[in-house]
Amino acid sequence: MQQRQFPRVNAFLKENLPFQQYKLSPNPLAIKLSFLVNFHCILSGGKPELSLANALVVLNSTAEDGEIEVRISVGDSSNMVDAAVLEKLETGYAKLAASDSKSLLKKYLTKEIFDNLKTKKTSFGSTLLDVIQSGLENHDSGVGIYAPDAEAYTLFSDLFDPIIEDYHGGFKKTDKHPPKEWGDVDTLGNLDPNGEFIISTRVRCGRSLEGYPFNPCLTEAQYKEMEDKVSKTLSGLEGELKGKFHPLTGMDKTTQQQLIDDHFLFKEGDRFLQYPDVSREVWDLRREGENLMAANACRYWPSGRGIYHNDNKTFLVWCNEEDHLRIISMQPGGDLGQVYRRLVTAVNDIEKRIPFSHHDRLGFLTFCPSNLGTTVRASVHIKVPKLAANRSKLEEVAGKFNLQVRGTRGEHTEAEGGVYDISNKRRMGLTEYDAVKEMNDGIAELIKIESSL
380 is in an annotated binding site: yes
Q: Is residue 236 marked as binding?
A: no
410 is in an annotated binding site: yes
Residue 411 marked ligand-binding: yes
**Annotated binding-site residue? 278:** no
Annotated binding-site residue? 409: yes
Q: Is 405 known as a binding-site position?
A: no
> Do the annotations mark residue 342 as ligand-binding?
no
Report whether 324 belongs to an annotated binding site: no
Tell me if 381 is assigned to a ligand binding site: yes
Annotated ligand binding at 379? The verdict is yes
CA-closest candidate to residue 302, choices 261, 327, 266: 266
263 is in an annotated binding site: yes
Per residue, the 3-state secondary structure of the chain, as one string, reads: CHHHHCHHHHHHHHHHCCHHHCCCCCCHHHCEEEEEEEEEEECCCCCCEEEEEEEEEEEEECCCCCCEEEEEEEECHHHCCCHHHHHHHHHHHHHHHHCCCCCHHHHHCCHHHHHHHCCCECCCCCEHHHHHHHHHHCCCCCCCCCCCCCCHHHHCHHHHHHHHHHHCCCCCCCCCCCCCCCCCHHHCCECCCCCCCEEEEEEEEEECECCCCCHHHCCHHHHHHHHHHHHHHHCCCCHHHCEEEEECCCCCHHHHHHHHHCCCCCCCCCCCCCCCCCHHHHHCHHHHHHHHHHCCCCCCCCCCCEEEEECCCCEEEEECCCCCEEEEEEEECCEHHHHHHHHHHHHHHHHHHCCECEECCCEECCCCHHHCECCCEEEEEEECHHHHCCHHHHHHHHHHCCEEEEECCECCCCCECCEEEEEECCCCCCCHHHHHHHHHHHHHHHHHHHHHC
Q: How many residues does the chain have?
A: 453
204 is in an annotated binding site: yes
Is residue 326 part of an annotated ligand binding site? Answer: yes
Binding residue positions for ATP:
200-204, 263, 326, 377-381, 406-411
Which residues participate in the annotated binding site? 200-204, 263, 326, 377-381, 406-411
